[in-house]
Structure 1
């Protein structure tokens, strides 16, 4: 695995090349750094890109280590636990019910109704159901945002799919298929909206040239705020507490 030396720190990274991306990027997650390069990049292109990103990479790695050191995982999915949702940590209430299956409701917090038969490994049951609920809510939000902007600006993707991406938070293929990372349900809703609108803008402009950013500003004049939030907080967007 290649490495980059920044001061006394030697940072290992996974190098990937893709013909689908239009710009180079670095993705930092706990214990892993991925460098996405263009398919046409040579070693000098990649080295020059990394050299320009040295300070950003060092600061991001330092912030990641600080966040990981201070992160408190949910010890148990029980009444009083906190569940990240749309940029906030919302309270969880777990109640017993005579229903036949587990149910989840959301009213200023998560209410989980456990059937009486659920006696063993209730943590796993609650975690699984909350994860499914969050994925459905993310899909619903994305579809609503895309529909609203699509009607207003005539931007109709061929399809929209929710998944877990290893690099970036969304993509728009040449065929008009859009993919959004469901983990954005943990970010403020405006951040999710920004990512969806960003990918919709690629239906009109493929590259990140001046025309793209001008068009994005037409679609979402206040996009800079959510974009900056995502750049500063992307390492905090994680479903680790559900695993």
Structure 2
């Protein structure tokens, strides 16, 4: 939860919500298009598309945007995107996993490698840090849906594995394979979630000092800003004191 909360706070304090939201819609739309093109355009018959639409709705992506993304795949005029995962180490030895959808593998690999190098990190082979993470589903709800006990009860009933609640909201995790089913059950019980996505959850955390944390956050920003990058996950952790200094 720490890494999630810290990064969300940083993005908020930078006042980048609008730009980030526009880029997020673009990336969500790309995932919907790719999912629809790889399988059927009917989400009931295409688990990946169903999950992509759930993730888009959780971010309040307009219905017309979702429909446009699906129609783009049906028209057959979309680019051929390839899903690629990059793994490496950032500043201070923090592990990083990058998920991308690209129509030019060389361009994306070169860009991702440069971000790691400039930050003092290093891109590794696929699998070099993946063993340090678990592939799970994550569903985030705002505090307004209820207290911790209510959410925990709903999560247990839905078949989730864990719930972490704090002043920012409730984070429910479940098996990756059951993300769609658990999300549907929780939505019926609690209302619309803030986000629904498959994540790489770190098994352990790597604490960073002020200098390494500053470099790490620049690396995260660079990766998140790249149009080809869909998701970025890391096991870095920063103390509240250091975070306060970095966000002044």
Common fold: TM-score over 0.5: no
Q: Which has the larger radius of gyration?
A: 1
Identify the TM-score tier after normalising by the shorter chain: under 0.3
Compute the TM-score of the two structures, normalised by the length of structure 1: 0.27
The TM-score normalised by the length of structure 2 is 0.27
Higher RCO structure (Cα 8 Å, ≥6 apart):
2
Please identify which structure carries the higher helix content: 2
